[in-house]
Amino acid sequence: MNEGFLRKIRRLWRADFLSPKDLLQRAAVLALLFLVAHLAGLREFTSILCGTVGSTEMSWRHSAELGVLYLILYMAFVLVVPVLVIAAAIVSAWRKYSAGPAGQQK
């Protein structure tokens, strides 16, 4: 790959810890992981909750592992991503409010 392209990506991705940009990046990564798992068809493996195997071609243990992985990603998407987005909005508003009218720290 082109070195310049990788540097640009790193520069865009860089953010201070727990800054609004960092929180939104974490939310985006969790959402992307859930999207990949959903598109890969891991949802059918959540049938382990009912005591059935998601696929007859796989072992019970492998089906259970895929089902648990999907459930963890689903819970992260439903519970953690909204919290991260709301936290990013609060931190952003707080920084804007605490800067004051002149744009300087109090």
**Per-residue model confidence as pLDDT tens digits over 13-47:** 787 888 998 999 999 999 999 999 999 999 988 88
pTM reported for the whole predicted model: 0.79
Q: Output the pLDDT for position 1.
A: 56
Total Cβ atoms within 10 A of residue 54 = 21
* pLDDT interval class at 102 (50, 70, 90): low
Give the amino acid at 63.
S
Q: Tell which residue, 24, 4, 13, has the closest CA to residue 92.
A: 24
